[in-house]
Structure 1
Amino acid sequence: MVSVKQLGLAAAILSICGLGHAERNITSDTYFYGQSEPVYPSPSGKGTGDWAEAYEKAAAMVAKMTLEEKNNLTYGVATTENGCSGILPSIPRLGFTGMCLQDAGNGVRNTDFVNSYPSGIHVGASWNKSLAHDRGWYMGGEFRKKGVQVALGPVVGPLGRTVTGISNDPYLDGALGAATVQGVQGQGVITSVKHFIANEQELYRNPTINSRNESVESISSNIDDKTMHELYLWPFQDALKAGSGNVMCSYNRVNNSHACQNSKTLNGLLKTELGFNGFVVTDWDAQHSGVAAAQAGLDMAMPDGQSFWGDNFTDAIANGSVPESRLTDMATRIIAAWYKMGQDESSYPAPGVGMPYNVSEPHTIVNSLTRDAKPTLYDGAVEGHVLVKNTKNALPLKSPKLISVFGYDAKAPDEYMPDGKSLLYNPWGIGYSPAIFQMGDLFSMTVINEPYYFQVAFNGTLSVGGGSGANSGPYLSAPLDALQQRAYEDNTVVMWDTTNNPSFMGLMEASDACLVFINAFATEGLDRAGAYDDYSDELVNKVAKTCSNTIVVIHNAGTRLVDQFAENPNVTAIVFAHLPGQDSGRALVSLLYGDENFSGKLPYTVAKSQSDYYSFFHTGAVTPYGLFPQSDFTEGVYTDYRYFDLHDITPRYEFGFGLSYTTFCFSDLHVSPVKHGISAYPTGAIEQGGAVDLWDTVATVTATLRNTGDKAGAEVAQVYVGIPGRPVKQLRGFDKVQIPAGGSAEVSFPLTRRDLSSWDVVAQKWQLQNGEYKIYVGSSSRELPLMDTLTIVTSS
């Protein structure tokens, strides 16, 4: 997260007036910073690469449309015929069936007979590209059967607010996001990659009216050009290269221009530099203008764009404010994505056919559950757990006679808590009130003044995040339920106290192990109050004071500090359990007992103190006159482990870290040489994802990975590159490899032109640097036993 900074009156006025391109110094690293460059006109889609046939079909259909029919494709309409989050009407005479747009990134939301998959952060912790693809494939199948044309995910931005996102590292985020796109779209469902761009906080995410009846703008994320490309744009580029047919623009402003009418980011970055062939849709109610948004590159407004477009849009075209060619391009992009995914085929279900407006009323059930998805649901839940501490041979558990369980997160969620303080829950997803639930309702929660209530879900185990990251499956395996099932099988006694005030000292002293379950909740609409909470930490220490074998399990929706109990000698094991979805308890118990081996790695850095993070959390924002909130990304690319490396801060658990029940060693590093005289800049044609030669392999890194323990396990081999003049090291490759005890495997990593380049602000291109690149291979960002150099000499 970045801090909200003040912006002076003069700067605020300049940002509103908008200086042109010629008046700025393009040689400065702060080019565009705080003031978005105008880029017009909006480029028409070119149908490059494998989009050519879809564009040909789309152009033919759009040519037959009336002005009103093209206009009607650009905004959603209200309906009670189904429960889709957004609906695009059909054009029966031309065979266009319309579109249903629906959350969530971890499965179909607001409906029944679907699965609840692990959330994005859990996928990030798995570091498993093939598993991310399979998860996307099965989710895509369920979206399709429910009649969804556009699945609103995956989330690859924000980077720092990882509730539904994958990781705060752009490389890991992009690689797993791209695999998800390929999986979902393999089922013919369009992915909506979101949120474009720099949507890094919830505070001031939308324009509001303050107590003085003044309009307060949404937050402006102020980013320099280099940081934009090397950090925040990176995962979107991966998703586009993977073929995503839709991009969702975000609520915030970018350099003082609303993201959904920002001509630099939409026309310039997305549609020109990255050659995007698909269409841009707003986040819900993120449209703030009509003509300006259309000219800036917005193609579709959701859930209802009639206030800005509708009849007003046809009038704007008639009077010349917007050329009809822009409307034609908008329609063509939408229809091309529909054709590209084969949604014109008769076998594709009608929009919203399995999405009733109110699931409590009788309706036809489209059964989306398949036995085929079960291994992916289970493996996905298993692999996102990260073991960070394991002393005194605490884990795996070995035929314990008595286990005691403590903590509010252990049990299945209650509908309501007697104290009335907890988040409301119902089977449709954490964060929803069963009393008022209707399709499309926003999440509802009880807000309490105590700080920890803003980040703890007290009413039961946390399996998903809140808001648009919430969905529900056919069941929820809670940790306490799974432990009791295991107790039945092993003749173990399980005792529990989930009242959050353990007082049974004798129970603790007699236990072979005490399991304490806590969580760190996060949801759309709220920033977490901090990286820990005293209430939960006190609960852990209260148990550990008496129990000499205290094992802590944290279901966390983001980075969570453990400094108040990590060094307690009676806390023998700590597990970051993240958000595992419906198989949560079953997966956890299999890991605790050693039926499965831990293989997850942290997709973020865990510090020793909250002060170690650079402006990680907001402590309150003061803005000029309270009307133009600003967030200056002055840290540049130095976020997470890059920041810790730059300032030589020792983390408690570094990015990429995770323990196993076995051990691994790395050897035999080899880096292939690069031929001299390679061009410094890419010269290839622009297709979706950018210049095609950005993806050419420039060098290859190989190493040998050996399992030196006595148990089979999976290790994530990680490659970091030190680009001359840039951060000490940046992740540029990873591979998760399953190896039997005593076995070995060779891992190979192709390094592309983009992997080895930095963004040249003057040339506005990716540039290979002359000099020596450091290549590191190991098991985490701080455990890199292998190192070599790669020399590059360019032709310019």
Structure 2
Amino acid sequence: MSLTLSQQATLTSGRDMWSTAELPGVRSIQMADGPMGIASGRVDERDVAVLTPCGTALGASFDPALVAQVGAIVGMEARRLGVDAVLAPNLNLQRSPLCGRGFELYGEDPYLAGTLGAAWISGLQGQGVGSVAKHLVCNDSETARDSMNAVASDRALRETYLLPFEMAAAAGCVGILAAYNRLNGDYCVEHQGLLTGIVKGDWAFPGFIVSDWFGAHNTLRSANAGLDLDMPGPDRVLGKKFAAAVEAGEVPAARLQDAAGRVAKAVARIDAMPRQPAPTDVDGTLAEAAAAGFVLLKNSQDILPILPTRARRIAVIGPNATAPCLQGGTFAKIAVRSDFINPLQAIRDQFGDRFEVGYEQGVEPEYRLPPLSARPARDLGDGATRGLTVEWLAGHEGETEPVHAETRDTNSLTWFVGLPGTDALKQAGRIRATGWFTPERDGPHRVHIGGTGAVTLYIDGKPAFQGGGPVSPSDLMGILKGGDSESVLVEMQAGKPVLLCFELAYTPARAQGLWYGMRGPDRPADMLDRAVALAAQADLVLLMLGETADSGVESKDRQGTRLPEAQLELLRRVRHVNANLVAICNVAHAFDISWHDQVRGLLITWFPGEQYGPALAQVLAGDREPGGRLPVSVAAQDADYPAFGLTPDEKGDLPYREGHLIGYKGMQAAGTAPLYPFGAGFGYARFGLSDARLTPTADGGADVTVTVRNLSDRAGKVVPQLYVAGPDGIRHLRGFTALTIAAGAEQQARFTLPPRAFQHWDEQAGGWQRAAGPHQLLLGWNSADLPVTLSVG
């Protein structure tokens, strides 16, 4: 296809927020965020989509075939919603447990992330939807991500942080998204050595490289570095500016031809993708995927599965039983189906006919922004009885009649594309959200409000609080992503309705947001006492602890690894009256489990998607296996993590001092034993290994087989793992397979190791080298429990 200079340039800039430009013979493709499902470009709670387990949960499955099915489900959803390409998977690594967006990541090991990422890509693209892998590279933290400079060695990059992207490129993703941050001094979107030298050169990647949204800064540097597509558009950094730079001789014409050609070929490739069979039972597959990621770390006295002969009265205690955390707070957040079954309901459905199931919350969920239950201030004829009346006004002062109104049942309003009834993203205006709130208790209620401008809270028509102020364009996205709020205490009377009005006055910007919430009077002692009383009467306690959706967010990293102190006190108090205690932790990163000796059962469920409730109930009953293995190491203390703090220094640098020794590898090098090692976890069956054999291949690789036998009287899942240690003795994961084996049966596990499995990146030679000396191949159950050793020269 022959394109003019102007047409070529058109293809290098988006048409709008989420779609690419269109030319005769090259259609526009619609993109969407989607590591856990298809996120609406409006970030709107009304756009419901299928919510899959998070990246860490899929990482814990160690099951490429199952992850491919999850990718296929996302592909099916994308087609249903008219999406052509999905910004996923997220192939950054959980370098530190503090990473705010760590839940999207497959874990700490690059081979695990690359293998599962490639499987997810295969499943998605098998439905005729393109994958755009993200965020290249070292966007492994959120603090100052728009400006921080990741300082990493070539070896660390090649062996660790680039490896998942290299595997994604080999799997055929249509695009790769360049990260916001800098790498060794240059923004990733301006890093010629990265984009052109490695991705397009060493890897021979034929797809396009796209900026993260609003992530490109400079036309000449981005164009010359190898950026192909600037999003969103139009003509923000590339597009017409790309053409002008070519005409001025500042960018070679061949560079523009390359960029446009890559975008056009990607569109053609998406249209030509052959369709593969898709899962027919979506709910069943998602429940299987959730359970496959549950990691059982402790099961003293076989307290699980729950048997009628051992327990008749079950106490379900904890905030995450009725308010589970299914996902984190990013712009890829999914609106969940209205018939979602929470864990408590699912447990009652599973056990209620044979057991007495009681429930107490014990403590409040620790939301950064608490929810607000209200009824609309106005009847708009939409039948809505929940939510707030949201109105848009065209100017700051004097305008009282809205240009548009609708009912919204959410506590966070965000607009990227435009505001209903007005072109107000390009001009100043006001937004009001108004509703009736009826208190359940007397006392002080803390009302929260925040937004991308000046905010005012009205109580029964009178101003009660003013905050915020004009926002500069450079600060807007950080404010929007952070979602910080201010608050005021308001005395309220039980049963007496209060009219709340949250107002935002904003200036022209590319996005806007208003958020609010309500926290009622605390009565922690009463809640705790009721939970302890219930626990004392039970045969078994299921203690459901964990996070809220806004505890892990874009643009913010965590401050620590401990669960909320109120939950830890709940654990101590319940343990004091009942030792038959199973802790179920709804957390999606490594966290402090130093209290593990206080419980008999310990199950990590991560953020498991919309089928959490049924999957959990089935695992507790023994109908499904807790199939997960830790995709991260859990340290005995925070100081043991090879990388922990994520705040850049005064120069904006974030040194990757651990080099290529991330996670369990760094702990090995330091001689530090983890509390729970990478790869740990077990199900309800026990297994043994025998007859391990190694056959070197002519190209320098190896084939390995080992027999796995189920030693139990029930079928079960097992994940044999293979690690390779060179002369330095550091073990690296190089193979794994998820097997389901019948009771008493055996199965052969096979591993094919290419030459790269024995090589490291030699910085002096600038290439892959095999260290002289013997290499050990270690087989077993996790990075610290490897009972079988084979050697090769």
Alignment partner for residue 670 of structure 1, among 685, 693, 701?
A: 693
Query: Is residue 235 of structure 2 the alignment partner of residue 297 of structure 1?
Result: no
Secondary structure of the structure 1 residue equivalent to 2:602: strand
Q: Equivalents in 1 of 2:193, 2:122: separation in Å?
A: 27
Residue 402 of structure 1 is matched in structure 2 by 313
Q: Equivalents in 2 of 1:700, 1:344: separation in Å?
A: 33
Residue 298 of structure 2 is matched in structure 1 by 389
Matches within 5 A, 1:581-592: 581-592=609-620
Matches within 5 A, 1:676-695: none
- Amino acid of the structure 2 residue aligned with 1:552: A
Residue 787 of structure 2 is matched in structure 1 by 785
Residue 108 of structure 2 is matched in structure 1 by 168
Matches within 5 A, 1:455-494: 460-474=323-337, 475-494=339-358
Q: Deviations over 1:1-48 (max 9, x none)?
A: xxxxxxxxxxxxxxxxxxxxxxxxxxxxxxxxxxxxxxxxxxxxxxxx
2:144·2:555 contact (CA, 8 Å) conserved in 1? Answer: no
Query: Is residue 59 of structure 2 the alignment partner of residue 124 of structure 1?
Result: yes
Residue 660 of structure 2 is matched in structure 1 by 637
Query: Is residue 679 of structure 2 the alignment partner of residue 653 of structure 1?
Result: no
2:84·2:270 contact (CA, 8 Å) conserved in 1? Answer: no
2:13·2:20 contact (CA, 8 Å) conserved in 1? Answer: yes
Alignment partner for residue 724 of structure 1, among 722, 727, 745?
A: 727
Q: Give the deviation of 1:280 after TM superposition.
A: 0.4
Q: Equivalents in 2 of 1:664, 1:73: separation in Å?
A: 55
1:159·1:170 contact (CA, 8 Å) conserved in 2? Answer: no
Residues 491 and 536 of structure 1: is their aligned pair in 2 closer, same or farther, counting only changes over 3 Å?
Answer: closer
Residue 441 of structure 2 is matched in structure 1 by none
- Amino acid of the structure 1 residue aligned with 2:552: A
Residues 584 and 559 of structure 1: is their aligned pair in 2 closer, same or farther, counting only changes over 3 Å?
Answer: same
Bigger drift between 588-597 and 104-113 goes to 104-113
Alignment partner for residue 272 of structure 1, among 198, 201, 213?
A: 201
Q: Give the deviation of 1:602 after TM superposition.
A: 0.2
Q: Deviations over 1:740-786 (max 9, x none)?
A: 11111111100001111111223322122332110100011111110
2:60·2:292 contact (CA, 8 Å) conserved in 1? Answer: yes
Query: Is residue 529 of structure 2 the alignment partner of residue 503 of structure 1?
Result: yes
Secondary structure of the structure 1 residue equivalent to 2:156: helix
Query: Which ranges in structure 1 are unaligned for 5 or more consecutive residues?
Result: 1-59, 79-84, 207-217, 349-368, 412-459, 679-696, 792-796
1:716·1:735 contact (CA, 8 Å) conserved in 2? Answer: yes
Bigger drift between 131-140 and 532-541 goes to 532-541
Secondary structure of the structure 1 residue equivalent to 2:775: strand
Query: Is residue 715 of structure 2 the alignment partner of residue 712 of structure 1?
Result: yes
2:635·2:675 contact (CA, 8 Å) conserved in 1? Answer: yes
Q: Give the deviation of 1:674 after TM superposition.
A: 4.5
Residue 484 of structure 2 is matched in structure 1 by none
Residue 542 of structure 2 is matched in structure 1 by 515
- Amino acid of the structure 2 residue aligned with 1:73: L
Residues 750 and 95 of structure 1: is their aligned pair in 2 closer, same or farther, counting only changes over 3 Å?
Answer: same
Matches within 5 A, 1:417-436: none
Residue 70 of structure 2 is matched in structure 1 by 135
Residue 88 of structure 1 is matched in structure 2 by 20
Q: Give the deviation of 1:266 after TM superposition.
A: 0.5
Q: Give the deviation of 1:343 after TM superposition.
A: 5.5
Secondary structure of the structure 2 residue equivalent to 1:467: coil
Residue 645 of structure 2 is matched in structure 1 by 617
Secondary structure of the structure 2 residue equivalent to 1:730: strand
Residues 321 and 608 of structure 1: is their aligned pair in 2 closer, same or farther, counting only changes over 3 Å?
Answer: same
Q: Equivalents in 2 of 1:528, 1:780: separation in Å?
A: 27
Q: Equivalents in 2 of 1:776, 1:784: separation in Å?
A: 6
Give the % identical residues.
Answer: 30
RMSD (Å) for aligned C-alpha atoms: 2.1
Q: Give the deviation of 1:313 after TM superposition.
A: 2.5
1:100·1:148 contact (CA, 8 Å) conserved in 2? Answer: yes
Secondary structure of the structure 2 residue equivalent to 1:553: strand
Query: Is residue 283 of structure 2 the alignment partner of residue 374 of structure 1?
Result: yes
Q: Give the deviation of 1:613 after TM superposition.
A: 1.2
Q: Give the deviation of 1:469 after TM superposition.
A: 4.2
Query: Is residue 31 of structure 2 the alignment partner of residue 101 of structure 1?
Result: yes
Query: Is residue 4 of structure 2 the alignment partner of residue 74 of structure 1?
Result: no
Residue 532 of structure 1 is matched in structure 2 by 562
Residues 674 and 76 of structure 1: is their aligned pair in 2 closer, same or farther, counting only changes over 3 Å?
Answer: closer
Residue 393 of structure 2 is matched in structure 1 by none
Q: Equivalents in 2 of 1:105, 1:137: separation in Å?
A: 12
Q: Give the deviation of 1:472 after TM superposition.
A: 3.2
Residue 701 of structure 2 is matched in structure 1 by 698
Q: Equivalents in 2 of 1:514, 1:150: separation in Å?
A: 45
After TM superposition, the runs of 4+ consecutive aligned structure 1 residues lying more than 3 A away are 369-372, 498-501
Secondary structure of the structure 2 residue equivalent to 1:124: helix
Q: Give the deviation of 1:113 after TM superposition.
A: 5.1
- Amino acid of the structure 2 residue aligned with 1:461: P
Secondary structure of the structure 2 residue equivalent to 1:719: strand
Q: Equivalents in 2 of 1:771, 1:66: separation in Å?
A: 57
Secondary structure of the structure 2 residue equivalent to 1:766: strand
Bigger strand share? 2
Q: Give the deviation of 1:396 after TM superposition.
A: 1.1
Secondary structure of the structure 2 residue equivalent to 1:409: helix
Q: Deviations over 1:706-742 (max 9, x none)?
A: 11112110100100000234x5210000001110111
2:13·2:234 contact (CA, 8 Å) conserved in 1? Answer: yes
Q: Give the deviation of 1:555 after TM superposition.
A: 1.1
Q: Equivalents in 2 of 1:187, 1:370: separation in Å?
A: 11
Q: Deviations over 1:397-453 (max 9, x none)?
A: 112322222222110xxxxxxxxxxxxxxxxxxxxxxxxxxxxxxxxxxxxxxxxxx
Bigger drift between 531-540 and 505-514 goes to 531-540
2:242·2:256 contact (CA, 8 Å) conserved in 1? Answer: no
Report the TM-score, using the length of structure 1 for normalisation. 0.74
Number of aligned residue pairs: give it: 613
Residue 284 of structure 1 is matched in structure 2 by 213
1:285·1:304 contact (CA, 8 Å) conserved in 2? Answer: no
1:476·1:584 contact (CA, 8 Å) conserved in 2? Answer: no
Q: Equivalents in 1 of 2:566, 2:255: separation in Å?
A: 55
Q: Equivalents in 2 of 1:574, 1:224: separation in Å?
A: 38
Query: Is residue 766 of structure 2 the alignment partner of residue 764 of structure 1?
Result: yes
Q: Give the deviation of 1:342 after TM superposition.
A: 2.2
Residues 506 and 762 of structure 1: is their aligned pair in 2 closer, same or farther, counting only changes over 3 Å?
Answer: closer
Q: Deviations over 1:283-337 (max 9, x none)?
A: 1111010011000010111113523234333221211111222111111001111
Q: Deviations over 1:348-371 (max 9, x none)?
A: 9xxxxxxxxxxxxxxxxxxxx984
Q: Give the deviation of 1:344 after TM superposition.
A: 9.5
Q: Equivalents in 2 of 1:128, 1:316: separation in Å?
A: 47
Report the TM-score, using the length of structure 2 for normalisation. 0.75
